[in-house]
Amino acid sequence: MKINRRSALAGIALQARAQSSPPVERPRPGVMSAFWEPLDRQMIDWLAPAKSAHVLDAGCGRGDHVRLFAERCRVTGVDLKPELLDYVQGALAATRFSGNATLRQADIAKLPFKDATFDLVWSSHVFHGLRNIAAAARELKRVLRPGGRFALRENRVLSALLPADLGFGVAGLEARADLAFTKWLTEDRAARGRYPHLWGQILRDAGVRDVQAKSFLHEANQPFSDIQREYLRYHLARKREWDLTEADKQTLHEITDPASPRYVLNRPDLYYVSVSTIYLGIA
Ligand SMILES: C[S@@+](CC[C@H](N)C(=O)[O-])C[C@H]1O[C@@H](n2cnc3c(N)ncnc32)[C@H](O)[C@@H]1O
């Protein structure tokens, strides 16, 4: 995966700026999906679509949510990128629920569906990257039946893994990396038009009512599983790609190098927490 360009498979966290450090090794296929699956299940359990419901996953990416919705009801996944839809098709074929899922290549801003087609619209980590977010929100509301639910997932709080003081380097490394990421993300958004609101507002502006935010925790404690270890190493290593000092990048390099005495994933005190927020309203 190349750095410095938008990548659908990788999600927002991979939309990084290439710095001087070597490219960060990506986790093996399936590791990201497996790492996030407990959180994905929590969110989908909370949304609890009825067995008779028809869900739209708008910007379905590698299809982790299409796969989970398909276990419970009918789901249509749309994405701009045909190669992603091919990947999702392959992942679905390995399940017992592929018959519940339909995939369509389409632009969220111009969907090939009649008004009031869906009971639940789910769009996860897509809106921050759209050019015309207001038009996309109106289009998604159009395809929702009156009384249907619009669930928009966008990050509100960043994750945490490291202690503030690692015992070497300059204390506060993770906070500096978060700041660099937030700055990049905000500037990236602003390049398509600034959005000086929290994400629930885009639903209200589209005429969605009773909008509430609900957040979910994803936690990993030591001893980490192999999947967690692989993902968390990548999670830390990719911070080298943000706008940090060379000293901070060197620290990140050391703490993510399994051959280094400073390899951080062996620390028994390590604990990862991530917060995921859904803005939910009624059409
Ligand atoms: C960061 S990924 C998120 C994927 C998935 N929803 C998830 O949460 O893992 C964003 C996805 O939205 C898709 N996307 C971006 N703009 C889109 C548009 N206008 N219409 C349809 N899909 C779009 C991208 O191709 C990409 O797969």
Q: Is 124 in the pocket of ligand 1 (CB under 6 A)?
A: yes
Q: Is 60 in the pocket of ligand 1 (CB under 6 A)?
A: yes
Residue 280 in 3-state DSSP? strand
pLDDT value, residue 16: 39
Q: How far is the CA of 131 from the centre of ligand 1 (A)?
A: 12
Q: How many domains does the chain have?
A: 1
Q: What is the number of the ligand 1 atom nearest to the C-alpha of 11?
A: 1
Edge-to-edge order in the sheet of strand 271-282: 101-105, 74-79, 54-58, 118-124, 144-153, 271-282, 209-221
Whole-angstrom distance, CA of residue 169 vs CA of residue 31: 30
CATH number of the domain residue 71 falls in: 3.40.50.150
Residue 76 covered by a domain: yes
Residue 7 covered by a domain: no
Q: Is 109 in the pocket of ligand 1 (CB under 6 A)?
A: yes
Which of 65, 58, 62, 60 has the alpha carbon at shortest distance from 40?
65
Q: Is 111 in the pocket of ligand 1 (CB under 6 A)?
A: no
Domain that holds residue 50: 12-282
pLDDT value, residue 23: 77
What does pTM read for this prediction? 0.91
pLDDT per position as a tens digit, 60-105 = 999 999 999 999 999 999 999 999 999 999 999 999 999 999 999 9
Question: What is the residue with the minimal CA distance to atom 20 of ligand 1?
Answer: 107
Residue 210 in 3-state DSSP? strand
pLDDT value, residue 25: 85
Residue 4 covered by a domain: no
Residue 232 covered by a domain: yes
**Residue 158: Cβ within 10 Å count:** 15
Tell me the best of 5, 80, 128 to mutate to test the pocket of ligand 1, counting ligand atoms within 8 Å of each CB and taking the most.
80
Residue 111 covered by a domain: yes
Question: What is the residue with the minimal CA distance to atom 2 of ligand 1?
Answer: 11
Q: Is 66 in the pocket of ligand 1 (CB under 6 A)?
A: no
Residue 1 covered by a domain: no
Q: Is 108 in the pocket of ligand 1 (CB under 6 A)?
A: yes
Q: How far is the CA of 61 from the centre of ligand 1 (A)?
A: 5
Question: What is the residue with the minimal CA distance to atom 9 of ligand 1?
Answer: 61
pLDDT value, residue 14: 36
Residue 216 covered by a domain: yes
Q: CB of 31 within 8 A of CB of 227?
A: yes
Q: CB of 149 within 8 A of CB of 211?
A: no
Instruction: Tell me the CA end-to-end span of the chain in Å, nearest whole number.
Output: 38
Q: Is 151 in the pocket of ligand 1 (CB under 6 A)?
A: no
Q: pLDDT by residue for the chain (283 residues), tens digit each? A: 233 333 333 333 333 343 445 678 899 989 999 999 999 999 999 999 999 999 999 999 999 999 999 999 999 999 999 999 999 999 999 999 999 999 999 999 999 999 999 999 999 999 999 999 999 999 999 999 999 999 999 999 999 999 999 999 999 999 999 999 999 999 999 999 999 999 999 999 999 999 999 999 999 999 999 999 999 999 999 999 999 999 999 999 999 999 999 999 999 999 999 999 999 999 9
Which of 70, 59, 58, 123 has the alpha carbon at shortest distance from 94?
70
Q: Is 59 in the pocket of ligand 1 (CB under 6 A)?
A: yes
CA angle 214, 217, 220 (to 5 degrees): 170
pLDDT per position as a tens digit, 237-248 = 999 999 999 999
Residue 5 covered by a domain: no
Q: CB of 232 within 8 A of CB of 220?
A: yes
Q: How far is the CA of 126 from the centre of ligand 1 (A)?
A: 5
Q: Is 77 in the pocket of ligand 1 (CB under 6 A)?
A: no
